[in-house]
């Protein structure tokens, strides 16, 4: 039996979030009986529960602001090590999602190695580039990333671009990497066009099926809201621009308003967040097109979900997005009128081209990003590495006897 301990997500069952959804799908789609998952869950109390065959254990931490996630990962790592030692478990892997605890992992690495515990890391995206962090936090993220790479046994990258970056940036550590993408599915929403929830939502914001472009993502500068909104304003489209995001009237919001004056354009509609999975999927399906401006990170979940659901997808021309979208999308850059002209051209597309784009996008998901395929690749990775883990445990046993 291979025991895989997963830390770094808020836990399962997933309500939102990329890592949370990934962990949920990983345990739900499990096929190998020889793998036992142990999943850390951020909670207000301690305890354990079972979810789709996985052992889920709560980790309670104090709310210390932005450092809470770091403390949570540290406490989860401690809990994993203690549980493995207490239960004398063999064939153990600790899989850490994101690079938050590099300095602390370095402190634990020697003890984990003595127990024959392997450490796998998903480096996520370029967190140290995110504009929401000040220069000190950015410096910590970069430093932490370096130590995570240095002290991991394997880095599982969900983007080929991130894998290339890890190999080039940290060449001196000779990092062992592999690529397994994030997943999605092409199942249609269970909601019909006349569903009460959908109709109520459309009526609330005066939105009409097939008469809106859609943006869905975190409300942060690196997702290029300014470019997308200002370019849409310059376009001649008669359709709406519907923006689903957790907008807050903060400094970024005020600067965006000042630079774009988007409130003067009735087509621009900020509609808040939508957490109903089937409703979001239906909103995607009924959109005329989706606009994706993300330029930081690896394989973005919202992009995969858009390709799986939306007929036309307009993506910012960066390597992460092109790697995923390929011929299933159209591309724009941040130059003046690039997106505006693209929108005007897309408004004139005939059904044949639209259907071909939609088919290409769905094919990308089915061929490369289906959850069934992604989970199978993870299980192959874990099973194939079992002999190496056993070999390492035997080496440790010999070392201990010699000692």
Give the model's pLDDT for residue 161. Answer: 86
Give the model's pLDDT for residue 307. Answer: 97
Furthest-apart CA pair in the chain: how many Å?
77
**What is the rounded CA–CA span in Å between residue 314 and residue 392?**
48
User: Which has the closest alpha carbon to 124: 297, 361, 316?
Assistant: 297
HSE of 320, CA atoms in CB hemisphere, 13 A: 26
DSSP string, 26-90: HHHT---TTEEEEEEEE-SS--EEEETTEEEEEE-----GGGHHHHHHHHHHHHHHHHHHHTT--
**What is the rounded CA–CA span in Å between residue 217 and residue 160?**
22
| Domain 2-183+371-402, architecture per CATH | 3-Layer(aba) Sandwich (3.40)
pLDDT in tens, 10-50: 999 987 778 999 999 999 999 999 999 999 999 999 899 99
Q: Return the SS3 of 8.
A: coil
118 versus 247: the higher-pLDDT residue is 118
Strand order in the sheet with 289-292: 268-270, 240-244, 212-216, 289-292, 313-316, 330-332
- Give the tokens for residue 169: 């940036």
**What is the rounded CA–CA span in Å between residue 60 and residue 76?**
9
φ/ψ (deg, to 5) at 323 = -60, -40
- Helix (H), strand (E) at residue 383: helix 371-384
**What is the rounded CA–CA span in Å between residue 271 and residue 156?**
36
CA angle 166, 168, 173 (to 5 degrees): 70
User: Which has the closest alpha carbon to 338: 235, 255, 242?
Assistant: 235
- Give the tokens for residue 324: 């995923």
pLDDT at 67 over 90: no
Q: What letters, b where the CB count within 10 A reaches 16 and e where it falls short, cover 178-189? A: ebbbbbbbeeeb
pLDDT in tens, 154-197: 999 998 889 999 999 999 999 999 999 999 988 999 999 999 99
pLDDT in tens, 217-269: 889 888 999 999 999 999 999 999 999 998 877 788 999 999 999 999 999 99
Q: Where are the domains of the chain?
A: 2-183+371-402, 196-369
Whether 2-183+371-402 and 196-369 share one fold: the answer is yes
Tell me the pairing of strands 54-59 and 48-51: antiparallel
Superfamily of domain 196-369: Glycogen Phosphorylase B; (3.40.50.2000)
- Spell out the alpha helix ranges (H) of 221-294: 225-234, 251-260, 277-285
User: Which has the closest alpha carbon to 282: 366, 372, 216?
Assistant: 216
Give the model's pLDDT for residue 301. Answer: 86
- Out of 55-64, 126-135, 256-265, 373-382, least confident range: 126-135
Return the axis-axis angle of helices 351-364 and 301-309, rounded to nearest 10°: 130
> Looking at residue 65, what DSSP letter applies?
G
pLDDT at 403 over 60: no
Query: In this structure, is the dihedral angle defined by the CA atoms of residues 347, 227, 310 and 271, taken in order, positive or negative?
Result: negative
Q: Return the SS3 of 155.
A: strand
Task: Give the distance, in angstroms, between the CA of residue 238 and the centroid of all CA atoms in the same chain.
Answer: 33
Residue 301 CB partners (closer than 8 Å, separation 6+) = 18, 21, 182, 184
Tell me the pairing of strands 313-316 and 289-292: parallel
39 forms beta bridges with 6, 56
pLDDT > 70 in the chain, percent: 95
Q: What is the band of 397 on the pLDDT scale with cuts at 50, 70, 90?
A: very low
- Give the tokens for residue 283: 């909103």
User: Which has the closest alpha carbon to 222: 294, 303, 323?
Assistant: 294
């Amino acid at each position: 039996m291979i025991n895989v301990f997963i830390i770094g997500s808020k836990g399962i069952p997933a309500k939102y979030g990329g890592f949370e959804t990934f962990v949920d799908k990983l345990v739900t789609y499990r096929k190998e009986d020889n793998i036992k998952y142990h999943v850390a869950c951020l909670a207000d109390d301690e305890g354990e529960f079972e979810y789709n065959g996985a052992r889920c254990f709560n980790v309670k931490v104090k709310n210390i602001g932005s450092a809470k996630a770091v403390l949570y990962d540290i406490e989860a790592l401690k809990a994993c090590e203690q549980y493995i030692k207490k239960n004398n478990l063999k064939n153990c892997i600790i899989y850490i999602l994101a690079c938050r605890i590099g300095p602390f992992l370095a402190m634990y690495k020697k003890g984990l190695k003595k127990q024959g515990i392997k450490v796998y890391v998903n480096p996520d995206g370029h967190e140290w580039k995110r504009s929401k962090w000040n220069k000190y936090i950015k410096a910590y993220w970069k430093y932490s990333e370096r130590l995570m790479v240095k002290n991991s046994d394997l880095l599982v990258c969900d983007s080929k671009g991130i894998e290339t970056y890890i190999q080039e940036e940290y060449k001196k550590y000779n990092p062992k990497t592999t690529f397994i993408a994030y997943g999605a599915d092409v199942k249609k929403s269970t909601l019909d066009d006349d569903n009460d929830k959908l109709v109520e939502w459309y009526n609330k914001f005066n939105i009409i099926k097939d008469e809106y472009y859609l943006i869905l993502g975190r409300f942060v500068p690196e997702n290029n809201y300014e470019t997308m909104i200002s370019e849409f304003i310059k376009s001649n489209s008669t359709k709406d621009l519907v923006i689903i995001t957790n907008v807050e009237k903060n400094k970024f919001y005020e600067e965006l308003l000042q630079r774009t004056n988007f409130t003067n354009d009735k087509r621009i509609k900020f509609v808040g967040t939508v957490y109903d999975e089937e409703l979001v999927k239906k909103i995607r399906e009924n959109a005329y097109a989706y606009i994706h401006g993300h330029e930081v990170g690896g394989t973005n979940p919202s992009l995969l979900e858009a390709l799986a659901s939306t007929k036309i997808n307009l993506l910012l021309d960066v390597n992460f997005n092109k790697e995923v979208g390929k011929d299933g999308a159209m591309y724009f850059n941040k130059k003046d009128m690039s997106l505006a002209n693209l929108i005007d051209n897309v408004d004139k597309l005939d059904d044949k081209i639209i259907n071909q784009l939609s088919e290409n996008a769905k094919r990308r998901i089915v061929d490369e990003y289906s959850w069934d395929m992604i989970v199978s690749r993870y299980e192959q990775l874990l099973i194939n590495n079992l002999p190496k883990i056993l070999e390492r445990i035997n080496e440790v046993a010999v070392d201990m006897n010699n000692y």
